[in-house]
Structure 1
Amino acid sequence: MALGLERAGFQPVALIEIDRQAAATLRRNRPNWPVVEADVRKVDFTPYKGKVDLLAGGVPCTPYSTIGERKGKSDENDLLPEAVRAVREVRPKAFIFENVDGLLHAKHADHVAAALRQFSKAGYATVIERINTRDYGVAQNRSRVLLVGLRRDLSVSFRMPPKFPKMATNMGDAVADLMGANGWSGTGDWVNRMREMAVIDQTGNLIRTGILADTIRGYKGSGHKGEKARWLRNGVAYAPIAKAAPTDEDARTEGFVPCLTNRMRARLQGFPDDWEFVGGIPSVADQIGNAVAPVVAQAVGLAMYSALQGMEFDWEPILTLRHRREIDPPPLAPSTDDITADPGSRIGTRIDLAR
């Protein structure tokens, strides 16, 4: 999220992250970013009041994910109320919270409606939008929900960024060089299979040619029986996570299906290749799987920048050249160098405060 917002021209004021290794990854790649290793449930946000334009975060998805128990507000990891509290205390011009599609399941309707009422009571007009990485050149089918709010007193409106389905690629072309890094002679055939595979909907109609990666998730030791069968049909396995690209010796194993390395997963999530991750295989897998695809955050960030500043962008060139900051707009708010947060507390989700 923070990487994408940086590309959209926002300057981070604070990045609050509970996971020690995830925080180390942020510091490794952006030494000047103000990373606060803390529990958002223990952070006092009031020092930031009036000094932040955009509050953005990924509220933990486990209470709402369709692959979990879907306990919603009964889950100890439910931090939607903390998102509401952060907005109330910071009073940003706008906020963006990302979550899984399961957030909109009927069983969570009352909980989500209560949060929306609280946002409204705090003076924000909030909309719920959907966005998918496949519409922004990422070779992954990853649908997500966004809660987007703007202060009513600003008299501005938010429009979602346009979609660019023609930017789409397939996962074979996306990771071809990484898959063939150890000389696997079947790489070319595998890439062609990924490139030529037909994707059919439930009615038998052709959706597209060229397979996209399944939604990249956090660490998983192995797949269940049904997943393994599907992976075999599609020609790629998502678990266990490979330590290295396949070799010809690996390919001689009965029932061989190439597994993805974390570097492959990171590229399928849209991270630049020079982004360094801190931690072992499980930790890095979680950092990748729990992330917002940077280009999605960039697209939404540009849309928010456009709303706040009344600017229009030539979207496609900016999003295509996604490995560099293509714009460097002036800060939207005064300096917040005098703001501090308690680095000794522990954390629950990441909240990005930007100006």
Structure 2
Amino acid sequence: MSKPQGHNPQRARVTLALLPNRSKIEHTFDRLEGPALRTDSNRFTAVEICAGAGGQALGLTEAGFHHLFAVELDPTAADTLRSNLRIEVAVGDVADPEVWSPADFQGVDLFAGGVPCPPFSIAGKQLGSNDERDLFAWAVEQVAVMKPRAVLLENVRGLAASRFSGYRQRVIDRLSALGYIADWRLLHSADFGVAQLRPRFILVALRPEDAPYFHWPTPQPRDRNVGPLLRDLMAANGWPYADEWAQLANGIAPTLVGGSKKHGGADLGPTRAKQAWRELFVDGKGVADSAPGPDAPGPREVMPRLTIEMVARLQGWSESDNWAFAGRKTSQYRQIGNAFPPPVARAVGGAIADALMRVGEPSSELSSGQRNVHDPVYTALANARDFVSIESLVKAESLGNVAAVERRLASLSNDFELLVEDGPGGTRYRLGDFKGFVGQGEHARRQYFEKHRNRVS
């Protein structure tokens, strides 16, 4: 696909892995190993939103999915994705009907995406549905339009917090109403061949006929550490201390932080993350243009900084990929730091592909049973036809005491209108409207986006 006219980005050529160009995909599949391998005859279709620079797209391609379409807000990241995988990418607000039409892709096998993380990030304010960047609920509504066989949405670990249990419950219930069986799982990237912890909270939903064949991917031994993985890149310019540094950096990295347009240039994260990088003898205050040279001091004297190539490898791109990141250094770093690691996407995508092909024995691992109740107070209120007393909530949900229920109600009020009625029998509650953006034209999210388009990322 041709690049946008007038867009001539600078590039960092990264020696990474797997898909040098579109014409070699079939041969690349023949060389891959592992249970997620798919032949061309078994490939499934996919549409991906908030696709970024292609970490999830690459992993899903390796797992046997062919992208019909992708949507990405940032034009530079879209150029990265388009030029490496040669797929059609629309640039703009994914919720803008002028950018794309989900109805055009009805019946796609997989609807996937990595919707914005800041609404749920522990490093932020955890505003959830009150954050103008929240698209999770909107994405779930597109399932009703596209009617895919499977859904894969990923986000940060913060979404697994108690603060968002009602939000998660609404997602599960909405997908159930649409005819899907869904569940969440916290996966650590280090368990799937990535040299950093990088926990990701992942939602998978499938139709009832496919769901019994889905099995969450099995964690593997954590055998990838920063030093050995990056030793050759640190030595690329003749640094004589590369071996010493590799031994000092022989551990798993903290989570890379890509950040957003609201923040400054490329660095490896907040204060706590920088301390963790120091323990691996890495200066996390910035990203270097190149590896240390032959005259650079040893790591005990001056800790080296990582380059774009090194950061990309830590995120799971491999050395033979020839993946090119468009844009300047800060943009490249953000693209990589915000990516879903390709090996994790491949593992989850492979498990979904197995389910779609009904591979193996059916089980109840992905079920609609009691294990999917994330918030019993939300469930009780959502199912009630009238106001409910707090004493009834305590009794019905076995939460122990009034204080525990009150805490849950306080959390729910962040994302839902909570109607309160005081009467002779005490205070009673009823669940009102969801505050989040699901596509409504009058929602504050639309007005904010129109006014602050260049600040949203």
Give the TM-score normalised by the residue count of structure 1: 0.78
Aligned equivalent of 1:11? 66
Q: Distance in 2 between matches of 1:28 and 1:40?
A: 20
Shift, 1:225, TM fit: 5.3
Aligned counterpart for 1:265 among listed residues 306, 311, 334: 311
Alignment of 1:119-134 (within 5 A): 119-134=175-190
Q: Does 1:68 align with 2:116?
A: no
Aligned counterpart for 2:236 among listed residues 173, 181, 197: 181
Q: Distance in 1 between matches of 2:181 and 2:358?
A: 18
Q: Distance in 2 between matches of 1:82 and 1:170?
A: 38
Q: Deviations over 1:282-326 (max 9, x none)?
A: 1111110111111111111110011110235xxxxxxxxxxxxxx
Contact 1:60 1:349 in 2 (8 A): no
Shift, 1:156, TM fit: 3.9
Shift, 1:226, TM fit: 5.1
Q: Distance in 2 between matches of 1:256 and 1:135?
A: 31
Aligned counterpart for 1:217 among listed residues 252, 257, 276: 257
Shift, 1:121, TM fit: 1.3
Give the TM-score normalised by the residue count of structure 2: 0.62
Aligned equivalent of 1:171? 226
Shift, 1:260, TM fit: 0.8
Aligned counterpart for 2:174 among listed residues 118, 129, 150: 118
Question: What residue identity is the alignment partner of 2:220?
Answer: F
Q: Distance in 1 between matches of 2:299 and 2:176?
A: 58
Percent identity over the alignment? 37
Alignment of 1:17-32 (within 5 A): 17-31=72-86
Supply the RMSD in Å over aligned alpha carbons: 2.6
Aligned equivalent of 1:251? 297
| 214-223 or 115-124, which deviates more | 214-223
Alignment of 1:33-72 (within 5 A): 33-43=87-97, 44-50=101-107, 52-72=108-128
Shift, 1:252, TM fit: 7.0
Q: Deviations over 1:11-30 (max 9, x none)?
A: 11111111100110011112
Aligned counterpart for 2:288 among listed residues 230, 236, 242: 242
Q: Does 1:149 align with 2:205?
A: yes
Q: Deviations over 1:245-291 (max 9, x none)?
A: 12254437995211111110000111133111101111111110111
Contact 2:266 2:333 in 1 (8 A): no
Q: Identify the structure with bigger relative contact order (alpha carbons < 8 Å, sequence gap 6+).
A: 1
Aligned equivalent of 1:279? 327
Q: Distance in 1 between matches of 2:127 and 2:256?
A: 22
Q: What runs of 5+ residues in structure 1 fail to find an aligned partner?
A: 196-210, 313-344, 351-355
Q: Deviations over 1:161-217 (max 9, x none)?
A: 122116x2211111111111111111110111223xxxxxxxxxxxxxxx0111112
Aligned equivalent of 2:352? 304
Shift, 1:114, TM fit: 1.7
Kindly name which structure, 1 or 2, has the bigger radius of gyration based on alpha carbons.
2
Runs of 4+ in 1 over 2 A off after TM superposition: 152-157, 219-234, 247-255, 345-350
Q: What runs of 5+ residues in structure 2 fail to find an aligned partner?
A: 1-55, 260-264, 361-449
